[in-house]
Amino acid sequence: MIIGRAMLLACFALLIGCERAGAVDSPGAALPKPLGDVAPGVPGELQTAVFAGGCFWGVQAVFQHVKGVHSAISGYAGGTKKDPSYEAVSSGGTGHAESVEVQFDPAQVSYGTLLRVFFSVVHDPTQLNRQGPDRGTQYRSAIFTTSADQKRVAEAYIAQLDAAKAFKSPIVTKVSALDAFYPAEAYHQDYATTHPNNPYIVINDAPKVVHLQQQFGDLYNSQPVLTRSQGGAS
């Protein structure tokens, strides 16, 4: 039996790829809004949020399409090694998780709304130290907070979703204060946007963006905010 090159690539992507498509296989409805939120703060001042939910390609792709997001940078957080490389993080020995740093305008999109997107379409928060076919703490579900208010809101929202039995299994997402964020190598930035025909992206990440548009139409930005166009993560 002859297997086409595209099928081989797709199988290969599933074996070594970063994650499976988002928390919900079918679009469905977005999760309920958080009961609490972080105050907007100083008008015009951007805030920072950091999320980890499997491979950063898909996480970045979703947040780049959210209105009010000024930048979404793939990188590493949660570990002990300074300036880690992709190879080091992939070994699982650094303690880092593949993460995305989101700079956003709270006057346009709140931290609570970003949390809602994160749990609704970015990943499956019930998978412990993995996403889909990927295994290892580098693919864990985590929220790295940059303020006490973010920690309070994130923990309360997880408790809210668990109490409502929003998922069939308990949420395993860990919430901890951000110690440091290290941007990933340039070739990882905007990967889903610049490689739309890559079988892995087609299978795993493109559906996340589609679900974002379907569940959060008022937030969906058809023109993604690209990291490279801003000179980031060079």
Active site positions, annotated: 55
Which residues, at least 6 apart from 80, have a Cβ–Cβ distance to it below 8 Å?
94, 95
Q: What's the 3-state SS for the chain?
A: CCCCHHHHHHHHHHHHCCCCCCCCCCCCCCCCCCCCCCCCCCCCCCEEEEEEECCHHHHHHHHHCECCEEEEEEEEECCCCCCCCHHHHHCCCCCCEEEEEEEECCCCCCHHHHHHHHHHHHCCCCCCCEECCEECHHHCEEEEECCHHHHHHHHHHHHHHHHCCCCCCCCCCEEEECCCEEECCHHHCCHHHHCCCCHHHHHHHHHHHHHHHHHCCCCECCCCCCCHHHCCCC
